[in-house]
Amino acid sequence: MANKRSTNFFERQEQARSNCRNLVYLFVIAVLCIIVAIYFAFRLVRYIYLVTEVIKVTNTSRILGKTAVFSWWDPASFVLVFITVTLFILVASLIKMHQLQKGGGAIAEMLGGRLIPKNSANPAEHQLLNVVEEMAIASGIPVPVVYILDKEDGINAFAAGLTINDAAIAVTQGALDLFTRDEMQGVIAHEFSHILHGDMRLNIQLIGIIYGILVIGIIGGEILESHRISSKSIVLFIGGILLVIIGYIGTFAGRLIQSAVSRQKEFLADASAVKFTRNPSGLANALKKIGGYIFGSQIDSSTAKQASHLFFGESHSDFLFPDSLATHPPLMERILCLDPSFDGIFPKVKKGIAVLQPLSQDIPASESNRVDASALADQPVSTKAADIINGVGKPTAAHLDHSSVLLVSIGDNIKQALNTPEDAANFIFALLLGKDYRERELQLGAIQRSLVGKGNKDEALRLCNLTENLPEDQKLPLVELAMPQLRSLTAIERRNFLEIINSLIRADEKTTLFEFSLQWIVQQYLIPENEKIFGETTFFDVSQVGYQILITLRALANAGNMGNADAARLAFSAGVERIPELACKNPDYSYTENINFAEINTALKKLAYSSFKIKQMIIDACAHCAFADETITVAEAELLRVISLALRCPLPPFLPQAYAQH
């Protein structure tokens, strides 16, 4: 694709943090330029004001006298402008950043998006949801909510969010109407690469920063719209014109920052999408359609200008410097990287409706090379411990094949149980129902108190019968498929839902690993911790979180070797040895079949605030702990998934050797 140095997930995250610091520097420079421009505009307006006031007097010598003593440099005025403008821009940026902290869904709605319901009757929307679900499972991240920009005829898409827990995918109506499944898959894979590589947070930081420096021009435009030219308002009118001109300085600076940050990331996202789908023609054809379409990738919404760097294609062109300030690489360059044989002639594209594959075939071809998803848990995995680190955030086409088979293997009756928030809630309840009569009676009593699903214990029982024979390795993916529906619950409904889940788990006075994993996932997705736009890394040294790392490794060793204390001890040692700062202290190990999940939960919350260098050590140590016996159990895979999600280091699912052979 391009000769770029290969980096793993953790290096990309550190690069994103470095880019964030660079954004701050560029922001400061832009603000200083705006301050200087506003200062001289202020002095010019004051000069004009003096002239208009004195012009009323017919004595020309008095006019000349007044203007002759006027000074363009006034330290007091400069300090006043400096403080006022700086505070104004900072407050505007902070307000915008606060709005953006609501997650990817809020950003999609800000840009005119409509949430696509799971039970949408539109076949194209249903196919889009299916593509997103496949890729989320293959990537090891929560299923993003999906939006459609109904009023946009241009072909475009974007991903937004602060973390993998609150991500949203949005596509324009033009893309939905015109893309084939392969083309849509290529574009969605491109957007997933932004999610997996930490680009989303940087992009949101950029929106907040750019809004602050664009707001000057916005105010100038409003002044011009609200005032007619007259002798009484001539000064204000001129001030509005000057603010619009100065606003273009902000626009220019904003576009410069956007283009500096965005261009290279688009090439990297294209390359990642091809590795993910193993289908360069899908993405290349999507780009060709943009080139041959009358609307191209343009976005009409004026609100979207501040977020032009989010989009898959160039959404707005600068009218003075369209090439220099483009937020995306030239279309031809991107296509030639994917299809070197392209002759540069774009096929004409007419507005219409895409040809959809039947839902029964809504997965990639080569069905004969597949394995039954229900047998995956019984096969040896192809992954080695040393491969885990480089696999974080880098799903492959084999992972996509696996997720496709998994989704197809799920019965329609179960899929329909995830269509609405009420159905999804009952489905989660069903997964937690025990087999003991007394325990189940307590649980059904708790379900009757649910505000979600209307306390329908009969529906929970029906779904329990449907899910009791599900393979263990399919249950957590189904939980995550239910999350987009549950995110639409109100705050009161969410609290009630989590209380019911707690009651269901406590009914037998013990917690299993699956129950802990389910509870943790639901809590993280429905009541996430307060995310800050610029993040909050607190721990930079292993010694600060060494105790929490040991708690995590002990739990993983015990969970994967139930009934075998010696094997558990070897697994724990294999993990500790990967972190020299801990290994040199010869930490104690104690085997127990009663894992303290409350202790693990507390440890993971603290580890989440570690630097990515430490997170890399933790994931590597956990991988060697789990693979100490060269196999991995469902319990180990579940706990590893929770650990990786807690650290926001998306770990693709482990594949059986059968996939490595195709």
Angle, nearest 10°, between helix axes 513-526 and 491-506? 170
**Cross-strand bridge partners of residue 539:** 610
| Tokens at 34, concatenated | 């705006």
Contact 126, 391 (CB under 8 A): no
- Which among 419, 296, 404 is positioned nearest to 346, based on CA atoms? 296
Token output for 450: 């649910």
Q: Are 652 and 381 in contact (CB under 8 A)?
A: no
Asked whether 486 and 424 are in contact (CB, 8 A), the reply is yes
Cα 52 to chain centroid distance, Å, stands at 55
C-alpha distance from residue 569 to each of 36, 274, 384, 565 (Å):
66, 42, 20, 6
Residues 6+ positions from 440 with CB-CB distance below 8 Å: 433, 434, 507
Q: Supply the angle between the helices 565-576 and 542-560 in degrees, to the nearest 10.
A: 150
Contact partners, residue 199, CB within 8 Å, separation at least 6: 16, 193, 265, 269
Helix (H, G, I), strand (E, B) or coil at 160: strand
577 is an active site residue: no
The closest alpha carbon to 189, from 141, 258, 136, belongs to: 136
Ordered alpha helix ranges (H), 319-418: 331-338, 388-391, 397-409, 412-415
Q: H or E segment at 131?
A: helix 123-139
Alpha-carbon distance of 295 to 154, in angstroms, equals 5
Single-letter residue type at 388: I
∠ Cα 300 303 306 (to 5°)? 110
Amino acid, res. 409: S
**Contact status, residue 614 vs residue 540, Cβ threshold 8 Å:** yes
Catalytic residue among 125, 191, 531, 636: 191
What single DSSP character describes residue 143? P
CB atoms within 10 A of CB 336: 14
Determine contact, residues 89/212, Cβ cutoff 8 Å. Answer: yes
Catalytic residues: 191
